[in-house]
């Protein structure tokens, strides 16, 4: 494919899909989108860290060939005001694996979130957020080491699907009339209206991915999180369809909580994954009080958004939490925080969220040796208490480093491993 502004590195090769698996050459081309605000600071620091880990792990036998893609404010400058260029989407499809920094979304009308648009355009239906404790990271929990949870958040449906009708518009009045006259429901005059679609298709593919992940990664349980006691035909249906697919497609590998008590008196049989469900509000409490009881979570869009930030706060906050948006094979890894505009271009913020998203990316392409080096070097930097401002304010006797200095410190540790 030819592009107007994207330059595909000549010496790299594309990742391909072979049956159900990725086929990754030793010189893969991976896409990256710098992002707005603090994006350029954290991206340049992270690129250096990933490259150092790959070089150390494979001594030149493997190398990532980075291909810059454009979205957000940088894209608008290059593509004459287009924040969301079509050729960037084409390149994300062609390259299969990419990573992105945060993108600005002005609050209020007129501008659709680029992140939401990207997820919907590319049908990146699963937002995957692993949240685990790294030794030395400041945490408000008594036993933060118990936190090791992977959230699979549905990415395309729910109240985030953008079916909203503004108060005072003709469309709003028309829908309100239909709901009152035809459906016999009532609500306050001039209420803004939104639709919350939750489908069997959207639920089943998300829960399938979560269970498959649990199987592949030897996890103990998959918990379906929902508010089905109140929203029976959306959130309650998510739970029912989740159990259905667990039993239909993974019968030999899973056991439901009901089966556990009915047939096994509560004793987990060997080699099985527990599929259970919990109401969303109690999950917030349980993840603070007994995080060790949870492993993989499958959630709808809104619940998962709240839950993943709350959980990240237990082990260092959004400055460190990584994430990915995935379809069946195409994956866009991303920092989970926003553009923090007040810190833009100050070389100040923590690059770890993007950097650990890159660790997930290295694992996804099977380069686990490079990922492990970063995972092992990171606690050593924490141990030295050489951290960016956000961690320094939570630690005693810490030395505050800039973004680039933090990258230097981490690379130094990687090179000494
Ligand atoms: P934000 O950019 O995530 O920043 C909120 C606060 O979180 C910052 O002020 C800072 O806290 C802390 N923080 C964020 N990133 C950090 C980092 N790398 N290191 C250390 N601390 C960090 O959230 P926001 O201010 O609500 O949103 C700003 C813009 O980002 C909006 O346009 C929003 O739509 C967009 N956004 C984009 C994404 C995405 O692209 N995925 C996600 C969320 C928000 P302190 O001030 O306490 O230091």
DSSP category for residue 236: I
186 tagged catalytic: no
Phi, then psi, of 24 in degrees rounded to 5: -110, 120
d(CA 209, CA 30): 23
263 tagged catalytic: no
Protein residues whose CB sits closer than 6 Å to any atom of ligand 1? 38, 42, 102-105, 115, 318-319, 334, 337-341, 349-350, 353, 390
Write the CA distances from 316 to 30, 138, 328, integer angstroms: 28, 6, 30
The pTM score is 0.90
Nearest ligand 1 atom to the CA of 102 is 40
Mutational test site, ligand 1, from 128, 153, 338, max ligand atoms within 8 Å of CB: 338
Rounded to 10 degrees, the C-alpha dihedral 324/325/331/334 comes to -40
Residue 349 CA to ligand 1 center (angstroms) comes to 10
**CA angle, residues 205, 194, 187, in degrees to nearest 5:** 135
Residue length of the chain: 417
Q: Residues 160-178: pLDDT tens digits? A: 888 999 999 999 999 999 9
What is the SS3 string spanning 218-233?
CCCEEEEEECCCCCHH
Q: Residues 384-397: pLDDT tens digits? A: 999 999 999 888 89
Write the CA distances from 263 to 96, 167, 245, 349, integer angstroms: 44, 53, 20, 52
For 67, the 3-state DSSP assignment is strand
Q: What is the pLDDT of residue 7?
A: 97
227 tagged catalytic: yes
Q: What is the pLDDT of residue 97?
A: 98
Residue 107 above 70 pLDDT? no
Mutational test site, ligand 1, from 35, 116, 337, max ligand atoms within 8 Å of CB: 337
Q: What is the pLDDT of residue 110?
A: 57
Phi, then psi, of 401 in degrees rounded to 5: -110, 155
281 tagged catalytic: yes
Residue 231 above 60 pLDDT? yes
Q: Going along 313-394, which residue ranges are E strands?
A: 322-326, 331-335, 386-387
Q: Residues 73-89: pLDDT tens digits? A: 999 999 999 999 999 99
Catalytic residue of the set 209, 227, 348, 413? 227
């Amino acid at each position: 494919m030819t592009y107007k502004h994207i330059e595909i590195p000549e010496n790299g090769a594309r990742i391909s899909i072979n049956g159900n698996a990725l086929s990754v050459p030793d010189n893969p081309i991976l896409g990256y989108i710098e992002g707005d605000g603090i994006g350029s600071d954290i991206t340049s620091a992270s690129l250096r860290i990933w490259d150092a880990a790959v070089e150390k792990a494979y001594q030149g036998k493997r190398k990532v060939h980075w291909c810059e893609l454009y979205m957000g404010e940088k894209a608008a400058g290059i593509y004459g005001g287009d924040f969301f260029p079509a050729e960037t989407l084409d390149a994300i499809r062609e390259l299969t694996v990419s990573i992105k920094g945060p993108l600005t979304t002005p609050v209020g009308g007129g501008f659709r979130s680029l992140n939401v648009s990207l997820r919907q355009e590319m049908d990146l239906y699963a937002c995957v957020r692993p949240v685990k404790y790294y030794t030395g990271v400041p945490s408000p929990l008594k036993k933060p080491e118990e936190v090791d949870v992977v959230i699979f958040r549905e990415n395309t449906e729910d109240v985030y699907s953008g079916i909203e009708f503004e108060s005072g518009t003709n469309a709003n009045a028309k829908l309100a009339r239909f709901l009152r006259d035809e459906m016999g429901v009532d609500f306050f005059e001039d209420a803004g209206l939104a639709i919350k679609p939750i489908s069997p298709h959207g639920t089943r593919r998300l829960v399938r991915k979560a269970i498959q992940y649990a199987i592949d990664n030897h996890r103990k349980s998959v918990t379906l999180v929902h508010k089905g006691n109140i929203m029976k035909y959306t959130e309650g249906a998510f739970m029912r369809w989740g159990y259905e697919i667990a039993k239909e497609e993974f019968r030999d590998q899973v056991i439901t909580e009901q089966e556990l008590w009915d047939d096994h008196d509560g004793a987990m049989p060997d080699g099985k994954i527990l599929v259970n469900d919990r109401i969303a509000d109690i999950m917030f409490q349980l993840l603070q009080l007994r995080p060790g009881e949870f492993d993989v979570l499958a959630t709808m869009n809104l619940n998962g958004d709240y839950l993943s930030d709350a959980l990240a706060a237990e082990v260092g906050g959004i400055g460190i939490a990584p994430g990915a948006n995935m379809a069946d094979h195409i994956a866009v890894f991303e920092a989970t925080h926003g553009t923090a505009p007040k810190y833009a271009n100050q070389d100040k913020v923590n690059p770890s969220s993007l950097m650990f998203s890159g660790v997930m990316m290295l694992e996804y392409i099977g380069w686990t040796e490079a990922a492990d080096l970063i995972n092992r070097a990171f606690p050593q930097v924490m141990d030295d208490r050489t951290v960016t401002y956000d961690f320094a304010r939570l630690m005693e006797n810490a030395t505050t480093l800039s973004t680039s200095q933090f990258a230097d410190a981490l690379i130094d540790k990687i090179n000494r491993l």
